[in-house]
Amino acid sequence: MMARTLVVLLAGIALAGPLHAGDAAEGKKKTQMCEGCHGIDGYRTAYPKVYSAPRLGGQHAEYLIKALQAYKSGERKHPSMVGVAGSLTDADMANLAAYYAAQ
């Protein structure tokens, strides 16, 4: 019985597809909110403290999605990122992650 349950669970996960099954072309349409900080090499924010904005291009899609979800939920705290992530849908996050992961 337990083996059968495990097989059903694994099949469901496989059918659900990867966490980052976003559309990179759609993600590119939303990058304007990211580029102001993340698109400038060596950029540092001054609020709420000096903080280097990490490069997004080439990051793993799963990491980007989880980071955006954490900002949206309040688990991660940065005023600008909480505001940006709060305006994104799950599809937006997946699409942005697909775009940046492909860089």
Which tops the pLDDT comparison, 92 or 46? 92
Q: Encoding tokens for residue 80?
A: 């600008």
The CATH number that applies at residue 23 is 1.10.760.10
- What whole-number distance in Å separates Cα of residue 51 and Cα of residue 48? 8
**For residue 5, is it within any domain?**
no
pLDDT grade for 31, boundaries at 50, 70 and 90: very high
Instruction: Kindly tell me the burial class for residue 16, based on how many C-beta atoms sit within 10 Å of its own C-beta (0-12, 13-18, 19 or more).
Output: exposed
Q: Residue 66: what pLDDT?
A: 98
**For residue 43, is it within any domain?**
yes
**For residue 77, is it within any domain?**
yes
Q: What is the mean pLDDT of residues 77-82?
A: 92
**For residue 95, is it within any domain?**
yes
Q: Residue 19: what pLDDT?
A: 52
> Looking at the 3D structure of the chain, how many domains does it have?
1
Helices (H), 1-103: 2-16, 24-28, 32-38, 61-73, 79-86, 90-101
What digits encode the pLDDT tens for the residues 48-61? Answer: 678 788 999 999 99
* pLDDT beyond 50 at 85: yes
- What whole-number distance in Å separates Cα of residue 8 and Cα of residue 2? 10
Domain membership of residue 66 as a residue range: 19-101
